[in-house]
Chains A and B, each alone.
Chain A
Amino acid sequence: MTSRYIAEYEKTADLLPGQSLAWLKTLRAEAFNCFSDQGFPSLREEEWRYTNVSAIEKKLFAPSLDLSEAVFDQALLTENQLEGALTIVLINGRFSKQHSSLEGLDKDILVLSMADALEQKPELLERYLSKAVSNEEHSFVAFNTAWFSDGLFVHIPAKKVVDQPIQLLHVVTETECLASTRNVLIAEEMAEVNVIETFVGVDDNYLTASVTEVFVEKNASLSLYKVQSEGEKAYHFGGTYVKQARDSRFNHHNFAFGGLLARNDVHTDLDIASECDLNGLYLGNKRQHIDNHTRINHLKPHAISNELYKGVLNQRARGVFQGMVYVAEDAQKTDSAMNNRNLLLSNDAEADTKPQLEIYADDVKCAHGVTVGQLDEKSIFYLQARCIDEETARNMLTFAFANEMVDKVKLKVLKVILLKNLLQVFPQSGIDSEWL
């Protein structure tokens, strides 16, 4: 089945950026071989046992060859663009200069599209590209490495604190389109930065395959927000792979709202005394399938990790959570907590969860917890006794459950967008996003 993708690749390979760079050409060739050997992941693989990607295999998503400006509903941009942020807009997987805004960009920091970065800073990319994740990770990563057409490149020099958030706005406007993008984010020693990835698209079939590599150097701090609001029929694969140096901090906020089939991987490697926070919220509706995978590797002592993923599953939606905390032999004094909470709101919804611990050191504190359940009838009754109709009561409680994750977002502009999203799903008469 993958043969169609292979044939398609041969057609479009020359159009990919950076083909003049020998090292990248080799890298892409290796990735392509890796993908053609393995094909798409199957349900037999432990990491994919709950997620069937054969639909992607049966269809053929091809990169958009039309380089002229796409025509689409501008609301996709205006509603999702963050005020005051440096924005790189990718349309159908390619950089759109016209829509991007890099006003007020400090000359020390680099915010470029991947294609531009490959031209301007090839030596920097050679050092970082494909270093946080290898093609063997799984075939979607190989697929991405072979096909990526553009992306976001951010480099923050040492001791630089960037106040302006940096946004990657990923828009897909074409049917049957493949938007494969690769992002590299680097925060040098003691730097600080906030990056937001927003994924939106038209209400039609398309495939987003996005891989983000993050390097957080010594004592640096990087917060990454991902808002996945793809169209209802979209397929989404997103992977975030992080390398943390000692004393570094990494915060990830993962909001998965859209897509027919959405899969998200977050992997982080922790060095001495580094910290990571992984937060996630997934809201499933209709026939959505949302799969979240996280892996925290405690490779060195004294690192701290916190993880909380919450899911609300309605109608025929299916939510999957597979989390792994790995503590290596020498990673003494590790402190790790992982939590996954699921609300099942309908008879046809399903939650599959698998929080895992693999521990090879003894002086550690590791805990994990999972719950799957429904709203507390007593709380609903309490609200009903106070003249709130049942539907609103349920919405209020579900909203409160989900809002915990939104509350963790420190960027005000982003928070407002997220709350609007939430209120749309759980409408409560009398509550307006303006108040929040």
Chain B
Amino acid sequence: MSSSAKEVENLIAQEYTQGFVTDIEVETFPPGLDEEVIAKLSKIKNEPEFMLEYRLKAFRHWQTMKDPDWAQLNIEPIDYQAISYYSAPKKDSDKPQSLDEVDPELLDTYKKLGIPLDEQERLAGVAVDAVFDSVSVATTFKGKLKDAGVIFCPISEALQEYPELVKQYLGTVVPEGDNFFAALNAAVFTDGSFVYIPKGVRCPMELSTYFRINAANTGQFERTLIIADEDSHVSYLEGCTAPMRDENQLHAAVVELVAMKNAEIKYSTVQNWYPGDENGVGGIYNFVTKRAECRGDNAKVSWTQVETGSAITWKYPSCVLLGDNSVGEFYSVALTNNYQQADTGTKMIHIGKNTKSTIISKGISAGKAQNTYRGLVKVGKGAENARNYTQCDSLLVGDRCGAHTFPYVEVKTPSAQVEHEATTSKISEDQLFFCQQRGLSAEDAVSMIVNGFCKEVFKELPMEFAVEAQALLGISLEGSVG
């Protein structure tokens, strides 16, 4: 293990304070959304003028749009006026004071994942004990990035300190009117991450939302902007394997990645939000717009995602391959159980010459869940010698679930080569029998076979994630056998 990876490990093992530095004391906004609410939000965040204009433009566009209904999802109508669009950061006194006050079911899952006790406290949102002083850790961490010239901070902070940089890139990959949820996000996003890797810099450590100081409570509308300038490299981890409780039912995040010439961005996500109970009650609605632009030649963007949570997942991390020889990759595992619904996939837009893309998608559907792969591979006129390989496999566990595949392939260049393959099958009785004969329980056998099915994707995950992701699949599949 490299020294930086060890440091990361150490960081995981430690606790840190979620010290919010904002002094403004604001009550939670009353439910509802209009221009006044947005102006107030922008004012609280003390944003530069251009941001307010940007938000209002997005909001006005959003008002003319309709909820998308093309996905293979069954969504209860959402009342956008019944949601509060800003709430003040929680004070320590409002949080559970110890783990005893936390839902035992949640603690049980933490135990199975092997999460250390103090980490459990952080995840469950327990008021932080001042004994652990993480400030020093954070400082070394920040210092190291600063030495490398990397900017990694909450986007609200970036708007204060580097407004020009944010203005230059924000909304250039996902325009404010891109789609219904992106427009909503642009109008009301509260916080998120901002990353800038300067020319020729290889980011010294894997960046993770885990360690983002002062922005743990980003709320339901998260905005992430990552810029990798020429010849740079960054690996970014989002989310975590431990289940996150969240009182917000609707999540609409936007992630924008910009990769300049020869730059490489690796973006890994593990999403494990509350999926609702066995009867499909509750659970998070997750509507995410993720898009990357390879603006320069030889740029590379790689998306890896493990989606096991949320009642509804609507998410299509995409790559626009503008630069010649640029590369887009998408590796995905989407697991749905009980009444979960996922409609996820990717878009690969080939514009530059010799662009390459790979799509590996593994969908697992159990219980009464519906799992859909929806992808677009588009090869434009000038994209000579473009190459795409797509493989999407579905695994069905149980006879009441559904697995669907909707790939779109549009090719306008004769020298392009596009391949798409998909299979759907169930876990074979022979494999199960083989494992059980060797003393594995049915549940362990299923978990093992499913992990084998997903291996191609897991090997793309950073090491810290990969191990946990495997355990996570096992837990998410609980109750689907027998």
Residues of A within 8 A of B (CB): 46, 329, 332, 342, 344-374
Contact = CB atoms under 8 A, between A and B. Distances in A.
Given A344-B414, A364-B425, 11 more contacts: A350-B411, A355-B407, A359-B404, A363-B399, A366-B424, A367-B421, A369-B421, A372-B379, A372-B411, A372-B418, A374-B414
Nearest to B410: A352
Interface residue range, chain B: 35 or more
Given A329-B400, A362-B396, A363-B426, A347 B413 contact: yes
Given A349-B414, A350-B411, A374-B414, A358 B398 contact: no
Interface of B: 70, 72, 379, 381, 394, 396-426
Contacts of A345: 414
A342 B379 CA distance: 14
10 contacts: A347-B413, A348-B412, A352-B411, A357-B404, A360-B402, A361-B396, A361-B399, A365-B424, A373-B419, A374-B414
Contact of B411 (A332, A351, A363): A351
A372 B407 CA distance: 13
Interface of A: prevailing SS: strand
Contacts of B398: 362
A344 B426 contact: no
A354 B406 contact: yes
Contacts of B402: 358-360
Contact of A369 (B414, B422, B425): B422
Contacts of B379: 372
B418 A370 contact: yes
Contacts of A357: 394, 403-405, 422, 424
B152 to A, nearest CB: 40
A50 to B, nearest CB: 8
A352 B424 contact: no
A350 B403 CA distance: 29
A373 B403 contact: no
B406 to A, nearest CB: 5
A359 to B, nearest CB: 5
Contacts of B70: 46
Contacts of B417: 371-374
A101 B72 CA distance: 51
B406 A364 contact: no
A350 B416 CA distance: 11
A386 B95 CA distance: 81
Contacts of A372: 379, 409, 411, 416-418
B415 to A, nearest CB: 6
A238 B419 CA distance: 29
Contacts of B424: 357, 359, 364-367
Contacts of B413: 344, 347
A215 B28 CA distance: 64
A386 to B, nearest CB: 24
Given A332-B399, A369-B421, A350 B404 contact: no
A122 to B, nearest CB: 43
B408 to A, nearest CB: 5
A353 B415 contact: no
B428 to A, nearest CB: 10
A374 B421 CA distance: 18
Contact of A367 (B409, B419, B422): B422
A359 B394 contact: yes
Contacts of B408: 352-354
Contact of B406 (A344, A346, A348, A356): A356
A350 B421 CA distance: 20
Nearest to B70: A46
A354 B72 CA distance: 15
A294 to B, nearest CB: 15
Contact of B407 (A332, A344, A354, A362): A354
Contacts of A347: 381, 413-414
**Nearest 4 interchain pairs by C-beta:** A362-B396, A344-B414, A370-B420, A357-B405
Given A362-B426, A373-B418, A351 B409 contact: yes
Nearest to B374: A356
A353 B416 contact: no
A46 B419 CA distance: 23
A335 B404 CA distance: 16
A96 B379 CA distance: 48
Contacts of B420: 355, 368-371
A162 B379 CA distance: 48
A344 B415 CA distance: 8
A363 B398 CA distance: 9
A357 B405 CA distance: 5
Contacts of A352: 408-411
Contacts of B416: 344, 372-373
Nearest to B417: A373
A94 to B, nearest CB: 40
Contacts of B396: 359, 361-362, 364
A369 B390 CA distance: 10
Contacts of A46: 70
Nearest to A358: B404
Given A46-B70, A352-B410, A363-B399, A370 B404 contact: no
A344 B411 contact: yes
Contacts of A361: 396, 399
A364 B365 CA distance: 14
A366 B399 CA distance: 15
